[in-house]
Amino acid sequence: MHRIEQKAGAGRRDWLRRALGMGAAASAAGWSSVAGAASRGQRIDVHAHFIPTFFRQALAAHGVEGDGGIPLPSWSVSEALGFMDKFGIQAQVVSLSEPGLGFLPDRASRVQMARDLNDYVRQTLLAVPSYSPAHGRFGGFAVLPMANPSDEKEVQEACIEARRALTVLGMDGVGLYSNHMGTYLGDPALAPLMQTLNELGAFVFVHPVAPPLRPEVDIPNFVLEFPFETTRAATNMLYKGIFWRYPRIRWMLAHAGGTIPFLSYRAGLLALHLDAQKSAFSRLYFDTALSAAPPAMAAAKQVTDTSHILYGTDFPYSKTVYALKWPGDPNPELNTTFSSTERAMVDRTNALAQMPGLQSRIA
């Protein structure tokens, strides 16, 4: 059963609180003062999160204190805009991070929360007047009301909300998690949802959550377990035939696909997918969030084409890292792996090619 890590070791938690506090102080002092310093730029950040107040309150009411082993960071529209302006980011495509909606006690509450979150994105970030600072600055991956795939009605509710979000609200894609209460994405229970997403030709962002069980290693989940979870999810879908049975779904994996670029050969052994550039993994999309280092990006380029690599920051969970950076290019290390032409693709055009609705909003 999916387990939300609510408490961490006191020493680790205190250290992380101090680190995040430093980042928050730096952002408050720096991001607002550099608005426009790097200009809005052209970058599209496909891996960013939103934490509206009503969702934060719901987490607190159910005793959920953090995400991935770290305290829940602050977030607001103005803070996100300041971050984007500092680093030349034109738009962020926001999604809901761990723990998703699994902390809510029943199907009805999850359905209502998913609708509320998606309506919030539509009303506060997407459908805003031209004079709003948020105009043309955001996209969104839909939140689905799914935590218990064994409940057929819950899966049907997820199908209904996916269709509403994409066809009525005009969202740019759908967010799914690496597992839902221990059920991975290739499970037959999720076939109705996969069929719906395939019919919609959806762009689907897979974000890791805590695994059903984890080793007792005293480090936060985001350090190792998150990339391992993304790897498990992608490999599970490969062997369950998801990629070929639902060819119209376009899948984007968080954090450069976890360890898929490095392990693609081993992960494909049983399926005899031994040529990385011809395997099902080569058709996936990979974001750069917290994975922009040259070794990770070089491995990703060996698995897929540059047109399948998209820029991401993991804001606001990464704000401590970015608070230490000067305004301008947020990840100059990408220049080691990508030429200037390729960098423009990663930073912007690859994302817009997959999300035409976003392109029309920011034009």
Name the one residue in this structure whose structure tokens are 């639902």. Answer: 246
Report helix, strand or coil for 207: strand
Please tell me the least confidently modeled range out of 59-68, 143-152, 352-361. 59-68
Residue 196 has pLDDT above 60, yes or no: yes
The reported pLDDT for the residue numbered 11 is 37
pLDDT digits (tens, 9 = 90+) for 279-296: 788 999 999 999 999 999
**Pairwise CA distance, residues 263 & 21, whole Å:** 36
288 within 8 A of 311, measured Cβ to Cβ:
yes
Longest dimension (CA), the chain: 55
Note the pTM of the prediction, 2 decimals: 0.85
Residue 358 has pLDDT above 60, yes or no: yes
Q: Mind listing the domains of the chain with CATH numbers?
A: 10-362 (3.20.20.140)
Tell me how long the chain is.
Answer: 363
261 within 8 A of 285, measured Cβ to Cβ:
no
DSSP result, 55-79: HHHHHHHTT--EETTEEPPP--HHH
pLDDT digits (tens, 9 = 90+) for 226-278: 677 898 999 999 989 999 999 999 999 999 988 788 877 776 666 655 455 45
Nearest in space to 223 (alpha carbons), one of 235, 206, 204, 208:
208
